[in-house]
A and B are shown apart, each in its own frame.
Chain A
Amino acid sequence: MRLTLRIWRQRGPEEPGALSVYEIEDISPEMSFLEMLDTLNERLILRGEEPVAFDHDCREGICGACGMVINGQAHGPERTTTCQLHMRHFRDGDTIDVEPWRAAAFPVVKDLVVDRSAFDRIIGSGGFVSAPTGSAPEAHATPVPKPVADTAFEHAECIGCGACVAACPNGSAMLFTSAKVTHLNVLPQGQPERESRVLDMVGTMDAEGFGGCTNTGECAVACPKGIPLQSISTMNREFLRASLKNGGRGAR
């Protein structure tokens, strides 16, 4: 395949940045999008140019590191992560635009790499359960009904890639936060922090400068793990319930 790539190049957080054009040939349709970028980088290095910086780790769709916006869509045209997107979904001769996640809370570090540590701080503020340490508890000690386990698992699938924030016109982290709130708040193990979790995580989310939800639905379309849009409604319900119960006071 022969492609024209227009890739966002930015030397550092404070540098201006712009789209640079690269012509690339001999791309196999079986390559993943990241392998295509690897090929480009090898050729750039041989030419003595700076390779394109992008984040990646597992390359099997489970770590969430490889986010980038391809032709205006987070992770590109398929519902999957960029590392699992293959070049066969593009046509020979295509021009492909590659940009970093755009959100005030995700500053660009370099080229396509953004700083997603705001997500870590949201998780740190409530995305956990309190459990006594020591030997593993007996698996049947806490019964979990099947539908509850299914809901929890569906939401535990979130890999924190940030596609929801990148796709949202308001740079909102509601889908991400709601995935963790729903995952833990439906489980019996999550009950002790049921109120403080949602109040603190929403508080951190707001403090990190993410936008609000206008129910545009872009996030759920972009999510490679299929977290449903209605999870935000679940988080809203949990938040309003906790505010009524706790007067808006979290654990912190």
Chain B
Amino acid sequence: MALATRTDTGHERRPGQKRKPPRKPSFIGSVWRSTIGKKAVMAVTGLIMLAYLVAHMFANLKIFFGPGDLNGYAHWLRTLGEPFLPHEGFLWLARVGLLASVVLHGVAAYQLSRRDLAARPRGYAHQRRRASYATRTMRWGGVILGLFIVWHILDLTTLTVNERAEPGHPYENVVATFSTWYGNTIYIVAMLALGLHIRHGFWSAAQTLGAGRPRRDRALKLAANGLAAILTCGFIAVPIGVMSGVVS
């Protein structure tokens, strides 16, 4: 722009005072500060957790092939990557990545939800039913998942709340969990919540990351429903297997 027509929007300067160089905003800072960027963090961390859950679900199904298969798999996970990685090295990498994901996901969800509620301080007197069940339950469903993750780790990783559990025997510990009514209830409720969360979440993540197109919408919704159904059924198969005596 020509100097004569330039309007300086910066701070007023006294003559002779040097112009302060504007601070360069960092990529991470500006992404985290904006509603779109923060949602993108949720989408990426959500997809990381989703990818993990797919692997986790298929691994769990090994329980139907007997104690040898599942316990052998658990042992293999701990030696994976050796000798390049130390014993349990891969496992800890995955744990750190997942912990970071769940924390970022939860913090972003909390901050965005606070903002969203503040942006609509007053509702309408005439209310209509809005959006699908899965869409409306993302926040509370997410909280259920968060609580479940804590219980699940105390139950089958640290074995703190699992009576009759023995370290190094995942097969037997899983059977112990699903031999109690509360173990089954907590787990099945959480998996139904997971299915709903993914039903909206997978499609939503595609929108957030810019992959949404009008002509791709049906395919994305179909994929989200498929993923949600496969994960929910795959995970619930294990307690059903134990309850029905197929796994014991």
B-binding residues in A (CB < 8 A): 6, 8, 19, 69, 71-73, 97, 99, 102-105, 168-172, 199, 202-203, 205-206, 209-218, 228-230, 232-241, 243-244, 247-249, 252
Flag whether B15 is at the interface (Cβ < 8 A): no
Name which residue of chain A comes closest to B204, CB basis.
A215
Closest Cβ of chain B to A225, distance in Å, is 15
Q: CB-CB < 8 A to A168: which residues of B?
A: 120
Q: CB-CB < 8 A to B116: which residues of A?
A: 169-172, 211-212, 214
Closest Cβ of chain A to B203, distance in Å, is 7
On whether the beta carbons of A170 and B119 are closer than 8 Å, the reply is yes
A-binding residues in B (CB < 8 A): 9, 24-27, 29-31, 33-40, 112, 115-128, 130-131, 135, 138, 200, 203-204, 206-214, 217
Contact of A171 among B119, B200, B210 (CB under 8 A): B119
Name which residue of chain B comes closest to A239, CB basis.
B36
25 sample A-B contacts, Cβ–Cβ < 8 Å, listed by A number: A8-B125, A72-B124, A72-B127, A97-B125, A99-B126, A103-B120, A171-B120, A205-B35, A211-B115, A211-B120, A212-B36, A214-B138, A215-B135, A217-B131, A218-B130, A229-B207, A232-B207, A233-B213, A234-B210, A235-B36, A238-B210, A248-B26, A248-B29, A248-B31, A249-B30
Name which residue of chain B comes closest to A69, CB basis.
B124
Q: CB-CB < 8 A to A234: which residues of B?
A: 210, 212
Closest Cβ of chain B to A106, distance in Å, is 10
Q: CB-CB < 8 A to B209: which residues of A?
A: 236-237, 240
Name which residue of chain A comes closest to B25, CB basis.
A248
Q: CB-CB < 8 A to A8: which residues of B?
A: 125
Q: CB-CB < 8 A to B112: which residues of A?
A: 212, 214
Q: CB-CB < 8 A to B37: which residues of A?
A: 239-240, 243
On whether the beta carbons of B204 and A102 are closer than 8 Å, the reply is no
Q: CB-CB < 8 A to B119: which residues of A?
A: 103-105, 170-172, 209-211
Q: CB-CB < 8 A to A6: which residues of B?
A: 125
On whether the beta carbons of B126 and A72 are closer than 8 Å, the reply is yes
**Does more than half of chain B's interface fall in helix, strand or loop, or is it mixed?**
helix
Contact of A248 among B27, B138, B210, B214 (CB under 8 A): B27
Q: CB-CB < 8 A to B125: which residues of A?
A: 6, 8, 19, 97, 99
Count of A-B contacts judged by CB separation below 8 Å? 157
- Given known contacts A104-B118, A214-B138, A230-B213, A99 and B130 CB-to-CB distance under 8 angstroms: no
Name which residue of chain B comes closest to A233, CB basis.
B212
Q: CB-CB < 8 A to A171: which residues of B?
A: 116, 119-120
Kindly state the separation between the CA atoms of A218 and B37 in the bound complex, as whole angstroms.
Answer: 21
Q: CB-CB < 8 A to A243: which residues of B?
A: 27, 30-31, 37
Q: Other than the known A6-B125, A213-B39, what 8 A-B pairs have Cβ atoms closer than 8 Å?
A: A97-B124, A168-B120, A169-B130, A169-B131, A215-B204, A215-B207, A216-B131, A236-B208
Q: CB-CB < 8 A to B9: which residues of A?
A: 252
Kindly state the separation between the CA atoms of A69 and B126 in the bound complex, as whole angstroms.
Answer: 9
Which among B36, B112, B130, B204 has the greatest number of chain A C-beta atoms within 10 A?
A: B36
On whether the beta carbons of A249 and B131 are closer than 8 Å, the reply is no
On whether the beta carbons of A212 and B120 are closer than 8 Å, the reply is no
- Given known contacts A203-B34, A243-B31, A244-B27, A236 and B118 CB-to-CB distance under 8 angstroms: no
The 8 closest A-B pairs by CB, nearest first: A248-B30, A237-B210, A233-B212, A211-B119, A170-B116, A171-B119, A212-B35, A97-B126
